[in-house]
Structure formats: structure tokens, C-alpha cells
Amino acid sequence: MNSSIHLLFAIDDHYVEQFMVTLYSIVTNSSKASFDVYVMQKQPLAQNETIALFCEQLGVSYHPVVMGDDAFKDAPTTDRYPETIYYRLLAHEFLPEDLERILYVDADILCLNDIVPFYEMDLSGKCYAASSHTADSNIPELVNKLRLQNFETDGYYNTGVLLMNLSEIRKTVKRSAILDYIQKKGALLLLPDQDILNALYGHLVELVPDSIYNYDARYNTLYYARSFGEWDLNWVIEHTVFLHFCGRDKPWKDSYRGRYAALYKHYYHHVRRLSMTL
């Protein structure tokens, strides 16, 4: 396996600071020192220089992926289907052809432990590795299977953390199939990009435990109950790799009162201190 870890983000200028917190937490907790980070953007971000300097401080190679105004001119876009829904689905069209795998991470995520075992996992015959947040509830899973007609999948996968086997994706994931699916099923899609990936390629996703690789911070009480009291704060800090602040309540907001507020602010403080030297 290549000694460098490749990371993928898709942000705009309003999410640069959050992206920096996520990246810092990944690099700080990794057992490998070599990183290449790719950031998808329609036009060059106004803060690209700031990002480049920050990455340089972390020893990370920064690669802006500027797609241009016409990248998705053939794709339907509306208020419900903004252009950004295609970024994760078709990232392989814009990334270097020699990349074999890359890890996509949302910028509202905190990394607490080493990502290397996850990044280097065997993905033979699979396009992706991801977690399901509904694996412990048969009702929403059944509803999603009926809605998307993907009965052969193991669950409904959250795409906030998505390990991509680019070699397989290039052979399997096609723009034409995605656009055709939107044309036929658009009215049924609630979370368009996530729904599309689950419907068309859910059978090609390797399921990994959400308690480790995509812990939804909103549901810490549910996780605690599901584990019969084992998965408490100490357990999360010791075992969870990706802590995901899903939903509208975000830890960088003054109003956030979640269990992991102090944890996020700790990393945020370190990033702000580094940023002051740029």
C-alpha cells in the first residue's frame, strides 16, 4: 500500500475553519506522517492560500481540485438537487488517475484515533467502505429498502465517511447511470447523493461499525443503551475513530451543549493557535 494517505474534502469558503479542525485531528492522531489532501471546489476558494499555508505547517501536501463551471452542465440541478450532490458520487472523474484509493470525510467530523487500519483495510471487490446509522433499527432500514429498491444491501449507509476504492469505482460508477436514476426516481430522493449511492452501489459497500468509524454525536444515549453502558465518554475517546456531528447542531456554535462540546473546542483551540501564525 502507498505510504501516503489520500484525503478528500468538498467545502466552500464558509467551512474552511471547520475543515482545518477535521484535518488537524486526523493528522495529529495518525500513525503515518505522509498525507495528501484534495479539496473539491467549483472555483478556487478565496482562502486557498490560507489552506495551503496551514497544510504546510502540518506537513500535508495540498491539492485543490478545481472543477470549473461546466463540470456538471449535463446534470439536473435544482434547490433540492444542488450541484454539490455530484461531488462525492463523481469525484473519481476529477482526481488523478494514478490514485487507487482515497478517504472522503465531512468537515463536521473530529478524528479521535488512528485512521490507518481503516484506510488500509481490504476492499477487494468493493467500491466503498462506510457505516450504517440504521443497522440497529429494522423499521427505517426497511423503509429505505422499499423507497430505494435496494434489498440486497446490508443497511442504509451514511456518506459522511467514505473510503473509496477508486480502481473499482472507475470501472463501476458511471455518470450516465446516476443521471438516469435521478430522472426516474428524483421525487423519492430525500438525501439525494446519499440515496443515489445506496440505491445504485449499496451492494458494493463494505459495512464498518458506526460506533468506531462514524459515531453520530446526536445519539450518544442510544449508543450507551445499545452497548449496555459500555460505550461511555471514556470508551469513545479510546476507541472511536470518527466522531460525526451530524444535523444542524454544530459544536463550533456557541449554542451547542452536546456531550462532546469540550472535546471539539480543544481541537478548535489548537487550530486557532496555529492559524494565528499564518
pTM, 2 dp: 0.90
Q: Are 36 and 61 in contact (CB under 8 A)?
A: yes
User: Smallest Cα–Cα separation from 250: which of 88, 131, 109?
Assistant: 109
Cα gap 104→97, rounded to integer Å? 17
**At residue 153, does pLDDT exceed 80?**
no
Q: How many other C-beta atoms are found inside a 10 Å radius of the C-beta of residue 267?
A: 20
- As a 3-state breakdown, the chain gives helix, strand, coil percent values, each rounded to 5, of 45, 20, 40
Segment 9-62, tens digit of pLDDT: 999 999 999 999 999 999 999 998 899 999 999 999 999 999 999 999 999 999
Alpha carbon distances (Å) from 50 to 55, 115, 116: 9, 25, 27
pLDDT (average), residues 182-205 = 81
Quote the mean pLDDT of the chain: 89
Segment 159-173, tens digit of pLDDT: 999 999 999 999 999
Q: Are 110 and 21 in contact (CB under 8 A)?
A: yes
Number of DSSP helices (H) and strands (E) in the chain, helices first: 12, 10
Phi, psi angles (nearest 5°) of residue 10: -135, 105
The reported pLDDT for the residue numbered 78 is: 63
- Report which DSSP code applies to 203: G
CA-based max dimension of the chain: 53
Report the sign of the C-alpha dihedral through residues 53, 66, 131, 195, in that order. Answer: positive
AA identity, residue 170: R
Residue 216, CB half-sphere, CA atoms under 13 Å: how many? 19
The reported pLDDT for the residue numbered 147 is: 46
Q: Is 123 helix (H, G, I), strand (E, B) or coil?
A: coil
Ordered by where they begin, the domains of the chain are 5-275 (3.90.550.10)
Segment 91-123, tens digit of pLDDT: 999 999 999 999 999 999 999 999 999 999 999
